[in-house]
Amino acid sequence: MGRAMGLAGLLLGLVVVPAVLVSTSLRHGAPRTEAEPSGWELATDTVPEDSLWPLPQQVLTYPRQLQLAPSRFQLVHGPGSSAGPGCGLLQDAFRRYYEYMFGHSWRRTRGPRPLAARAEPELLQLQVVIEAGDPGCDRHPQPTSSEAYYLTVTEPVAILKASEVWGALRGLETFSQLVHEDDYGSFLVNESEINDFPRFAHRGVLLDTSRHYLPLKSILTNLDAMAFNKFNVLHWHIVDDQSFPYQSMYFPELSDKGAYSSNLIYTPTDVRLVIEYARLRGIRVIPEFDTPGHTQSWGKGQKDLLTPCYNGRQPTGSFGPVNPVWNTTYDFMTKFFKEISSVFPDEFIHLGGDEVDFTCWKSNPEVKEFMKKQGFGNNYAKLESYYVQNILDIVSSYNKGQMVWQEVFDHKARLKPDTVVQVWMANNYAHELSSVTGAGFTAVLSAPWYLDYISYGQDWKKYYSVEPLNFPGSEKQKKLLIGGEACLWGEFVDATNLTPRLWPRASAVGERLWSSSNVTNLQDAYKRLTNHRCRMLSRGIAAEPVFVGYCAHEAR
């Protein structure tokens, strides 16, 4: 999915390449006008907020600093919390965030406070207090989960309050961003008060594991990076035309015949691992099984699923989209989505529905016959909608909500009231947002955030400058835009270049979706983003540079 690869993509590539060669101000590297203010000078008077990403809704920091001793500082459950030591999710997070904050410090041996310590008072603990009766420790994050938190950093203990564990995870990330080292290696944090919650509830990253297989490690590393940026949805575009790496229980032939090779698959264990790893970071995993188009690889392992294309009366031997006229198709989908519904715990499944090429359907005599019978005339969009509606019904019957690409809405399929429409076509997407929300459907925005479309220079700025609610519509409509997704389609991406291509460019999208709409200053963002990027490096994420400069802890 994405853009129709093939002709359109090739044309795009051909247009873009000469455009680059025609640039006027040709200098060695970036033109001088791109010079950032002190782009590579180490700021001596850094302010604590200089390091926060995304910027919280309300931040108050005070000049008074507190010291943290790695050997004594603890992340603990606070009194009155509905979560305790039995809350595996928080226990795991405590260990993880301790490591992020003090990990590379060698002075972690136990011991009393040395006499020649700094004068500042010591911060002994961060107490985490979950306030809701059911903290959510053993649940999966859902669209309605609360991610708000309230953080006060003051001596002798800092307090992190959140309704549910998801907010605590967000707060821990922020706290870890406040802790900094001074010139002597002492850990300090400014007294602060932070009140934070996300502007949009759906903040996702799309990964495509069909155009190129992504090893598990790649996916897990990416989940780490997502957590550092407060993303909360992994949209796993797991199969497509080129390969089918998902190992299905009911239909093992799908990956046996459809994967690139027998080792380039995701076993049920792999899938469980991704889901759990994500859960521990407050990230939902929404799988996408895109049909009826983008399904070439399904046909390898499932005979008679795809439409045979015809040349006159003869089958050509090639296949098109899923065959919408055979009952066997819906028998298959019923069984297949039963499995998917049980394997993936999220409330939603993405059903795709994009870029269906009608040519093959039009060539097939049975399909043509069916069109006549149904009275669809020559309108194949109606056939597509007929198919999609059936799939929506099937998936609904398993109590799952559905996400679809915009074509499904554009071609007027009858959607369920809670179907989420993902707007991806760049041309006039504001208009599309108006249409979708105007018709009463929830929308997720991806159109301006196709990060696979690389270009020279600081393109993070253009992602950052998107204002999702800039479309004509009422207050009520705007509430229906629940968030967005940064998409990294896989035509030119695999484990060799995934991380630097995605980060920190996706960070720009992350802040746009979390922070307040008035956080738009590019100079301030540049400062914070470069700091944030260095921090990601120190946490093992090979995020690429924003511009000229360096990090104290370079990539390993």
Among 497, 522, 538, 540, binds another protein (CB under 8 A): 497
Give the active site residue among 288, 355, 384, 407: 355
Distance of CA 222 to the CA centre of its chain: 9
Query: In 131-240, which ranges are continuous DSSP H helix?
Result: 165-178, 216-228
Residue closer to another protein, measured from CB, 49 or 452: 452
Residue closer to another protein, measured from CB, 376 or 453: 453
Among 78, 215, 500, 540, binds another protein (CB under 8 A): 500
CB 175 within 8 A of CB 188: no
Provide the token pair at 72.
């004594």
Measure the CA–CA gap between 82 and 129, rounded to whole angstroms: 7
Among 8, 43, 47, 548, binds another protein (CB under 8 A): 548
215 contributes a contact to another protein by CB under 8 A: no
- Measured from the Cβ of residue 68, the count of other Cβ atoms closer than 10 Å reads 22
Span of 151-159, 245-253, 446-454, 473-481 interacting with another protein by CB under 8 A: 446-454
Least distance from C-beta 385 to another protein, angstroms?
32
Provide the token pair at 484.
């967005």
Least distance from C-beta 549 to another protein, angstroms?
7
Least distance from C-beta 554 to another protein, angstroms?
7
Handedness of CA 16, 208, 533, 538 (dihedral sign): negative
456 contributes a contact to another protein by CB under 8 A: yes
550 contributes a contact to another protein by CB under 8 A: yes
Among 18, 111, 133, 312, binds another protein (CB under 8 A): 18
Name the residue type at position 556. R
Residue closer to another protein, measured from CB, 78 or 500: 500
Least distance from C-beta 507 to another protein, angstroms?
14
User: How would you classify the pairing of strands 187-196 and 149-153?
Assistant: antiparallel
26 contributes a contact to another protein by CB under 8 A: yes
Among 8, 10, 47, 117, binds another protein (CB under 8 A): 10
CB 244 within 8 A of CB 210: yes
Q: Is 355 a catalytic residue?
A: yes
- Measured from the Cβ of residue 88, the count of other Cβ atoms closer than 10 Å reads 12
24 contributes a contact to another protein by CB under 8 A: yes
Element (H, E) at 281: none
128-187 residues near another protein, rule: CB under 8 A: none
Three-class secondary structure of residue 340 per DSSP: helix
43 contributes a contact to another protein by CB under 8 A: no
CB 368 within 8 A of CB 362: yes
Among 8, 43, 117, 454, binds another protein (CB under 8 A): 454
540 contributes a contact to another protein by CB under 8 A: no
Among 148, 390, 453, 462, binds another protein (CB under 8 A): 453
Q: In angstroms, how far apart are the furthest CA atoms of the chain?
A: 92
Residue closer to another protein, measured from CB, 165 or 541: 541
Q: Where are the beta strands (DSSP E) in 344-387?
A: 348-352
User: How would you classify the pairing of strands 481-488 and 442-445?
Assistant: parallel
8 contributes a contact to another protein by CB under 8 A: no
Provide the token pair at 543.
């995020």
189: nearest Cα among 179, 197, 177: 179
Q: What residue ranges bind another protein (CB under 8 A)?
A: 9-10, 12-14, 16-24, 26-30, 32, 34, 39-40, 452-458, 492, 496-497, 499-501, 537, 542-545, 547-550, 552, 554-555
Which residues have a catalytic role annotated? Answer: 355
